[in-house]
């Protein structure tokens, strides 16, 4: 029996079925195309590095990449230009889809002032904690004659005395004038080995000493990298007897091999034996 193909395809039911199949296929392809366009499927861009850029400069750089941005916070970082980007999320170099929002933290557009707390006649350690809590730093300690040992007598900035309540730039480093007491006390220099600069400053102040010159074997690129350097040598060496307020010079590196050798420490002279003392006396009287 011969099948009439032409007659089958001219059948209205077959024509309707084929039309429905074509419409479904077209809807399926159209939907996939719309979803692909809506989600920017396969279209990714690399987030540019916005650090040190102003908001206008960052906006231009992001606009070129078809990205958006939102400033979520503003902080004050000493040493950074005012109003520039200091942090971004996602980080520079990340792959993101177009239209993604980049969240920015900027440095304050103006220098903020903080109020100096009243630390006069407060112990050194408590005074340092109070000063750090308001966004200031203790640069060094200077000991002055006073019958009251370890109490703050004055706070100075750039050689000038400051009174409690004075408004000074956030991040400023002040000098604490601390009472020496009635005796010239000697302290032993602690070991700063393997500590970074900030940790060393804290340990020095706790021992009533100051950090002097800081030497890096390879200069750090910025403050963030500086924090990864550690002390491998110091002068005076650990254990050396020094006066209150003396300075300790530090030598820093990121090379772990600098810590492989033994640390140089102060050796306390041992008294000679009784026989040696008698022998020296005999030589003296000959």
pLDDT digits (tens, 9 = 90+) for 195-233: 999 999 989 988 889 999 999 999 998 888 999 999 999
**Residue 140 belongs to a domain with what CATH number?**
3.30.10.20
Q: Is residue 30 assigned to a domain? A: no
Indicate if 190 and 237 belong to the same structural domain: yes
Q: Where among 160, 183, 206 does a domain terminate?
A: 183
Shared domain for 197 and 240, answered yes or no, is yes
Domain membership of residue 251 (yes or no) is yes
Domain count, the chain: 3
State the pTM of this model: 0.54
Please report whether residue 171 resides in a domain: yes
- Over residues 90-149, the pLDDT tens digits come to 999 999 999 999 999 999 887 788 999 999 999 999 999 999 999 899 999 998 878 788
Looking at the structure, tell me whether residues 179 and 201 fall in a common domain.
no
Please, where are the H alpha helices in the chain? 5-9, 12-38, 55-64, 124-133, 197-206, 223-226, 274-285
**Residue 233 is part of which domain span?**
185-266
In a domain, 133, yes or no: yes
**Residue 16 domain flag:** no
pLDDT digits (tens, 9 = 90+) for 240-276: 999 888 999 999 999 999 999 999 999 866 655 554 5
Q: Which of 107, 125, 147 is the last residue of a domain?
A: 107
* Cα distances (angstroms) measured from residue 200 to each of 167, 190, 196, 197, 204: 28, 10, 6, 5, 6
Provide the mean pLDDT of the chain. 85
The answer to whether residue 276 sits within a structural domain is no
């Amino acid at each position: 029996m011969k099948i009439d193909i032409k007659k089958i395809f001219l059948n209205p039911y077959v024509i309707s079925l084929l039309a429905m199949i074509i419409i479904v296929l077209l809807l399926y392809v159209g939907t996939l195309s719309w979803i692909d366009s809506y989600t920017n499927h396969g279209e990714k861009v690399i987030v540019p590095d916005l650090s040190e850029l102003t908001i206008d400069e960052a906006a231009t750089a992001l606009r070129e990449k078809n990205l958006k941005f939102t400033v979520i916070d503003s902080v004050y970082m000493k040493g950074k230009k005012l109003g520039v980007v200091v942090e971004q999320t996602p980080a520079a170099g990340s792959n993101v889809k177009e239209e993604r929002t980049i969240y920015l933290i900027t440095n304050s557009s103006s220098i903020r002032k903080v109020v100096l707390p009243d630390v006069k006649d407060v112990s050194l350690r408590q005074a340092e904690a109070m000063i750090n809590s308001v966004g200031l730093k203790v640069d060094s300690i200077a000991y002055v004659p006073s019958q009251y040992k370890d109490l703050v007598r004055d706070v100075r900035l750039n050689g000038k005395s400051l009174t409690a309540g004075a408004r000074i730039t956030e991040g400023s480093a002040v000098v604490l004038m601390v009472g020496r007491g009635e005796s010239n006390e000697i302290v032993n220099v602690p070991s700063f080995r393997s500590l970074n600069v900030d940790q060393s400053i804290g340990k020095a102040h706790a021992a009533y000493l100051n950090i002097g010159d800081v030497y890096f074997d390879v200069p750090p690129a910025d403050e963030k990298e500086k924090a990864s350097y550690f002390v491998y040598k110091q002068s005076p060496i650990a254990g050396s007897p020094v006066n209150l307020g003396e300075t300790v010079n530090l030598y820093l590196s990121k090379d772990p091999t600098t810590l492989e050798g033994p640390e140089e420490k102060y050796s306390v002279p041992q008294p000679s034996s009784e026989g040696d003392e008698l022998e020296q006396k005999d030589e003296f009287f000959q």
